[in-house]
Amino acid sequence: MNEKIIIVAGGDLFSLAAQYLGDATQWIRIAQANRISDPVLQGVNRLVIPPVDPTAGGGIAT
């Protein structure tokens, strides 16, 4: 696994997915990896960023 851990203050999962996964629509993968449902972050958060997967679908929870 090539997941990474980051610390962020505020922001949103769309921006993080674009930055770390290369696709803002894959925000749901970050949400699922961290068991969160709101893509808008409040306060300081420690997040697991899953490995880049260009074949992953985006934006819709399965």
pLDDT tens column, 4-33:
999 999 999 999 999 999 999 999 999 999
In a domain, 12, yes or no: yes
Q: What total number of domains does the chain contain?
A: 1
Residue type, 30: I
Is the torsion defined by CA of 2, 24, 55, 58 positive or negative?
positive
In a domain, 55, yes or no: no
Tell whether the model's pLDDT for residue 60 goes beyond 70: no
Percentage above 90 pLDDT, the chain: 79
In a domain, 58, yes or no: no
Residues contacting residue 62 through CB under 8 Å, at least 6 positions apart: none
In a domain, 37, yes or no: yes
pTM for the model stands at 0.86
Residue-level pLDDT at 59:
61
Q: For residue 34, what is the DSSP state?
A: T
Per-residue pLDDT averaged across 42-48, rounded? 97
Q: Give the residue among 36, 33, 24, 25 at the shortest CA–CA distance from 51.
A: 33
In a domain, 11, yes or no: yes
Tell whether the model's pLDDT for residue 46 goes beyond 60: yes
Domain interval for residue 42: 4-49
